[in-house]
Amino acid sequence: MISPFAGLLGTNYCPTDEEVSEIRVLLVDPAHRLKHLNDAITELQTALDKLVEERDGLVAYMDGHKALISPVRRLPLDVIQEIFIACMPTHRNCVMSALEAPVLLGRICSSWRTIAYSTPRLWARVHIVEPLFYTINRLDPASIDSDAKAAQRFAATKEWLGRSGQCPLSISLQNGPDHRPLNATSPTPCFLQALVLFASRWEHMEFTLSFVAFNAISHLTKTDVPLLKSIKFLYQYQIPPQRADLEEFTMLQGPRFSSFCALDTKVITEGLPLPWNQLTVLELTGPSWESLTNSESLLLFLERCPQLHTCKLSMNDRELTRPPSSAALIEFASLRTLELDCEGLEMTVTHLFDRLSLPGLRNFALVGQITSQHAPSLAQFFARSSRLERLEIRSYTFSRSSLLESLRGLPGTMRELIIHDFPHRSSYIDSAITLDDDVLALLGGDSTPCPALETLHLNHCTNVSDEALLQFIMAHMSGESQTKLKYIKVQFDRRMTLDIFSSLPPFVSSNLGLFITHVPPLKMRFSPWQGVDDDPFEHIPDPPDV
């Protein structure tokens, strides 16, 4: 449609009275045409709605009949049960939620609910969170009925375990600090005491409790828990600090017991009532400066654990001032995973790594900060660990030279390398930079010590350049003899200087999982609003009423 006012449309022009009258006359015919079109659309929409309604009725009719002949309805009971079991999470115990199996399976139909409730294996693993009372100033106390919620979950716990038949149980109990007022009169149900009733079927147990709560299970003996294979103790922090007397837990001496984990470094390792000769997993972690375990005691109990394949410890070697009594190598062929958090790392190298031979070691992780200029080198230890596949270290564990020397000693079986950088270096170290371009040049060069490397993680990097990372990727992806990289994850604590993604050839980017982030350092802000009450950059609104 051609308008005499086409040149004025979309402008701020103000028409005269004569032009206003002319515009109104001009819009009469378009208004009639618009009404005609709207009426036609309404008529067609009515016809379309009738067709859609008829279509939906036919679909519902057909779907209902197709459901009757669905193959899943004809599956044997044992097949459905196996499918249900395959729906269970494998990396943890099942949570008491309708968002996942087995509770979700009982919400589909009555037939599936009957099958799910009558399959004990579905209910043999559970993660229980005990609701506790919290006082929150901004919340109405009447809206937080913790006692009612605890009673509800307590009943659900008993019902859940009641469906488990005679299956061995895997249970994790999560408890937290109780902020109940002192004048509270209605105690919450004791979940731990309820679990004790099923102690004869405990197989894998994990407790996150206050120290006082452990009294409910301290009386159990090995005859009370004949199926127990593993146990994990995690403690809730309390003031004043307390700890459970693990030396009195005789239930740890059961005939099948093989895995012990505790967040407790103040325990004397030799005093634990553990069946050392059948132990396969031992984890005692926590603040290393509080640990009562040192390298000498570690070697002693390793000799008592011929089947141990996983060991994770926090150790304190600051009191080891003398050289070891013997420099002879001690070999432990069964150990596959070793993770250590060391205080007094220089002594750990002398008393442990220089004397330890682990030919079967696959995974090794080390945390510890050097406190002198004599930074440790683990090259000889790595050379003796000829099957090592995964290494996780911190940059502040080494000086620049000792890190390069240690990496040169890595065996050719290495597949995964994780290095955590740290911006605040020790004042004892002359070289403030440990993880830099030379590390990547070593790992990506023609004579790389890690030709089979598949995964590289670098965290909090500040001195590795984007150019060096790009060269490393190209070196590993273009080589003919070495294994191609599969996954790289790098976090830079600085701004990007080179777009690595756009610089990679298509064949590299399509065959490599590459995740790179640049987190620039915080800037000083010189705000002209500073000092005024309504600073838009500083004001934090109050949370809404609940």
- Token pair for 106: 């009982």
| Spatial separation of the C-alpha atoms in residues 332 and 357, rounded to whole Å | 6
Burial of 246: CB neighbours in 10 Å, binned 0-12, 13-18, 19+:
buried
| Spatial separation of the C-alpha atoms in residues 80 and 476, rounded to whole Å | 47
Please answer whether residues 167 and 201 qualify as being in contact, where contact means their C-beta atoms are separated by less than 8 angstroms.
yes
- Reduced to 3 states (helix: H, G, I; strand: E, B; else coil), residue 342 is strand
Q: Which residues of the chain have pLDDT under 70?
A: 133-145, 176-189, 237-245, 265-270, 321-327, 370-374, 423-433, 479-482, 507, 509, 521-525, 535, 537-546
pLDDT (tens digit, 9 = 90+) per residue, 429-467? 444 568 889 999 999 877 888 889 999 999 988 889 999
Cα→Cα distances 108→77, 80, 113, 311, Å: 16, 13, 7, 44
User: Is 0.95 surpassed by the pTM of this model?
Assistant: no
The per-residue pLDDT for 344 is: 79
| Spatial separation of the C-alpha atoms in residues 274 and 254, rounded to whole Å | 9
The per-residue pLDDT for 268 is: 63
The per-residue pLDDT for 182 is: 44
Element (DSSP H or E) covering residue 64: helix 28-68
Side chain identity at residue 395, one-letter code: S
pLDDT (tens digit, 9 = 90+) per residue, 25-82? 999 999 999 999 999 999 999 999 999 999 999 999 999 999 899 898 899 999 999 9
Strand pairing partners for 419?
A: 393, 458
Closest by CA to 262, choosing from 250, 244, 239, is 244
Three-class DSSP labels, 442-459:
HHHCCCCCCCCCCEEEEE
Side chain identity at residue 304, one-letter code: R
Burial of 416: CB neighbours in 10 Å, binned 0-12, 13-18, 19+:
middle
Cα→Cα distances 516→124, 454, 465, 486, Å: 41, 16, 12, 14
Task: Tell me the domains of the chain and their CATH numbers.
Answer: 369-523 (3.80.10)
The per-residue pLDDT for 97 is: 93
